Amino acid sequence: MQLKIKRREDYLDNIWNNARELNICESERDKRRARNGRITFDCFNTHSHLDRAYCTKGIPLNPQSNDGTMMLFSVLRGWCSGMCKDCKDYSDEVTKAGGGEAG
């Protein structure tokens, strides 16, 4: 089933209701995670607003964009911002992000 989308925002509105597209995004994320280790999707500092993703630590995910944000769809597909690869604030564990103790 091919979605007929005119605008990127419409695509994001419809993707949540399309199990096939969500499965494709998940498999792409798994491939990139296996290949690269870190992906922006896994960091608990990554949040979204409308169709953009941003870092709550203030680190620009995309230095070329005016506001430092990254397309949410890219994050869902498993793309990793270059800034996330070596970030000291990267947090992929609930215990780190939630302030709890590991163990």
Give the per-residue pLDDT at 63. Answer: 85
The pairing of beta strand 52-55 with beta strand 46-49: antiparallel
Query: Is residue 1 in some structural domain?
Result: no
pTM attached to this predicted model: 0.68
Q: How many domains does the chain have?
A: 1
Give the per-residue pLDDT at 60. Answer: 92
Query: Is residue 54 in some structural domain?
Result: yes
Query: Is residue 52 in some structural domain?
Result: yes
Q: In this predicted structure, which of 16-20, 64-68, 73-77, 82-86 has the lowest mean pLDDT?
A: 16-20
Banded pLDDT at 98 (limits 50, 70, 90): very low
Give the per-residue pLDDT at 100. Answer: 41
Task: Give CA–CA dist 15/2, Å, rounded.
Answer: 11
pLDDT in tens, 51-75: 889 999 999 998 888 999 998 888 9
Give the per-residue pLDDT at 56. Answer: 92
Task: Give CA–CA dist 1/18, Å, rounded.
Answer: 9
Query: Is residue 99 in some structural domain?
Result: no
Range of the domain at 25: 8-89
